């Protein structure tokens, strides 16, 4: 039997994606510690090259801490436009192999290649070909797990990093899975891990051999059943080609705590523009607008309001966001502000009820026109005058 027989699921995870994209367009950075994000006293690392990771730098680490670990690292700003463009190229390679592609983020996806084997060969060969195309055509590297199901494929790609591939044969799944720590099971965070540790369960094998009634008493019915199934390498989820986004959000952490209403207004407007533009690009609109406020003392609150009809218009998002934000802020110093659009529906299927004094053509037409100008001439080509100071400052 072929080692990859019965292993039609691939999980492909790009290696240090943002950093790799930056190195691709700046070849002189190859082999150097590159960090994306982390600028400013409160910046957070978005991605780090493997050269930077050798110094202990990780995603989500505060930029100040990353600089302390590697003062000579090269810090670059986040450029989502470039990463999304690269992501489209990556997903295009996947879809050349199979239509059954389930993106999890801009840099990883599940593939079901069961229908592609007659044309392209075994799952392992398909995975090897994908890695070769990434290197030759896109000048990027990826790690791939090849397995009978999604859970095992994801574990495989994690353990194949960086720039590797692991095949988990059907008859070797428990041999691969059971020695792993309980944290390898999806759904086991720090609190669940501590609960399992108190029960004397530290490996996946321990969970597999524990009584379900004991797990149920400690974790509840749903989680106990979920973990027991995974511990025996059982995962019946299919690769789904459509993921429904539940919300779209954007937030920013100020370099210095802010209480100036003018600065906060401009920030809320900028965040609202980002959220609405992403909604229009995704052909969705949201019915609920929410704001997030983190104060100087790290206390965090959120407020939301549901509209009569969905919107993808930045000015409408901003108007409601500020109405929610202003009383919540109440002159206090703010560390972080965020805006989120929730309750998403397809925009072509949504209707907008005009107010009595609202023109038939208004803000949305202007914003769609601005999208077209920005697509042709660049992000800063057009926008609200009140944001000029942010863009140029």
| pLDDT confidence of residue 331 | 82
Cα 299 vs. chain centroid, distance in angstroms? 25
User: Which tokens go with 300?
Assistant: 């965090």
Structure letter (DSSP) for residue 237:
P
CA gap 117, 239 in Å, rounded: 16
Q: Where does the pLDDT of residue 38 fall: very low under 50, low under 70, confident under 90, or very high at 90 and above?
A: confident
Indicate the CATH number of 247-392 among 3.20.20.70, 3.40.50.300, 3.30.1490.100, 3.40.50.1010: 3.30.1490.100
Same CATH topology for 1-167 and 247-392: the answer is no
Q: Where does the pLDDT of residue 3 fall: very low under 50, low under 70, confident under 90, or very high at 90 and above?
A: confident
Render pLDDT for 124-165 as a digit per residue (tens, 0 to 9). 999 999 999 999 999 999 999 999 999 999 999 999 999 999
CA gap 6, 8 in Å, rounded: 6
Residues in a beta bridge with 344: 286
105-109: Cβ within 8 A, 24+ apart? 106/17, 107/13, 107/14, 107/17, 107/83, 108/11, 108/12, 108/13, 108/14, 108/157, 109/11, 109/12
Q: Where does the pLDDT of residue 214 fall: very low under 50, low under 70, confident under 90, or very high at 90 and above?
A: very high
User: Which tokens go with 140?
Assistant: 């990027």
| pLDDT confidence of residue 368 | 59
Average model confidence (pLDDT) for the chain?
89
pTM: 0.73
- Phi then psi for residue 188, to 5 deg, are -100, 100
Query: How many percent of the chain have pLDDT more than 90?
Result: 75
For residue 162, say if its preceding peptide bond is cis, omega within 30 degrees of 0: yes
Question: Is 367 designated active site?
Answer: no
Q: Where are the beta strands (DSSP E) in 187-299?
A: 247-258, 284-295
Write out the CATH class of domain 178-231: mainly alpha
**Contact yes or no for 170/233 (Cβ under 8 A):** no
Q: Where does the pLDDT of residue 364 fall: very low under 50, low under 70, confident under 90, or very high at 90 and above?
A: low
DSSP element (H, E) containing 306:
strand 300-311
Find the length of the chain.
Answer: 393
Residues placed in the known binding site? 13, 107
The CATH number given to 1-167 is: 3.30.70.270
**What average pLDDT does this structure show over 337-346?**
92
**What average pLDDT does this structure show over 324-334?**
90
Q: Which of 22, 51, 102, 108 is catalytic?
A: 108
Of the listed ranges 76-80, 209-213, 330-334, 364-368, the one predicted with least confidence:
364-368
Domains in the chain: boundaries: 1-167, 178-231, 247-392
Residues placed in the known binding site for Mg(2+)? 13, 107
Whether pLDDT at 354 is above 60: no
Whether pLDDT at 345 is above 70: yes
**Contact yes or no for 76/49 (Cβ under 8 A):** no
């Amino acid at each position: 039997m072929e080692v990859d027989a019965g292993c039609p699921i691939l999980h492909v995870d790009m290696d240090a994606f943002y950093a790799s994209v930056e190195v691709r367009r700046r070849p002189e950075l190859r082999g150097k510690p590159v960090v994306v994000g982390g600028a400013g006293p409160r910046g957070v690392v978005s991605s780090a090259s493997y050269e930077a990771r050798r110094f202990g730098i990780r995603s989500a680490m505060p930029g100040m801490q990353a600089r302390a670990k590697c003062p000579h690292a090269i810090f670059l700003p986040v450029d989502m436009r470039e990463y999304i463009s690269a992501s489209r190229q990556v997903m295009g390679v996947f879809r050349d192999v199979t239509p059954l592609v389930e993106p999890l983020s801009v840099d990883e996806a599940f593939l079901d290649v069961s229908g592609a084997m007659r044309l392209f060969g075994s799952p392992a060969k398909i995975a090897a070909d994908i890695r070769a195309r990434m290197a030759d055509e896109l000048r990027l590297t990826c790690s791939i797990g090849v397995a009978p199901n999604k859970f095992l494929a994801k574990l495989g790609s994690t353990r194949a990093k960086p720039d590797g591939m692991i095949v988990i044969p059907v008859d070797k799944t428990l041999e691969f899975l059971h020695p792993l720590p309980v944290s390898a099971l999806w759904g086991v965070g720090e609190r669940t891990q501590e609960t399992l540790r108190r029960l004397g369960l530290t490996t996946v094998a321990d969970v597999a051999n524990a009584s379900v009634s004991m797990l149920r008493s400690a974790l509840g019915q749903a989680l106990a059943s979920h973990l027991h199934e995974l511990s025996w390498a059982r995962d019946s989820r299919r690769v789904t080609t459509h993921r429904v986004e539940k919300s779209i959000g954007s937030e920013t952490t100020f370099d210095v705590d802010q209480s100036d209403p003018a600065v906060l207004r401009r920030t809320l407007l900028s965040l609202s523009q980002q959220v609405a533009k992403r909604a229009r690009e995704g052909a969705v609109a949201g019915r609920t607008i929410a704001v997030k406020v983190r104060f100087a003392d790290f206390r965090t609150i959120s407020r939301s309001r549901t509209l009569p009809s969905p919107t993808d218009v930045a000015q409408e998002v901003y108007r409601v966001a500020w109405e929610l934000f202003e009383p919540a802020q109440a002159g206090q110093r703010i560390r972080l502000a965020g805006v989120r659009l929730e309750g998403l529906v397809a925009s072509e299927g949504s209707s907008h009820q005009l107010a009595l004094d609202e023109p038939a053509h208004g803000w949305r037409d202007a914003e769609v026109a601005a999208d077209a100008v920005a697509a042709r001439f660049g992000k800063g080509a057009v926008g609200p005058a009140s944001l000029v100071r942010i863009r140029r400052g």
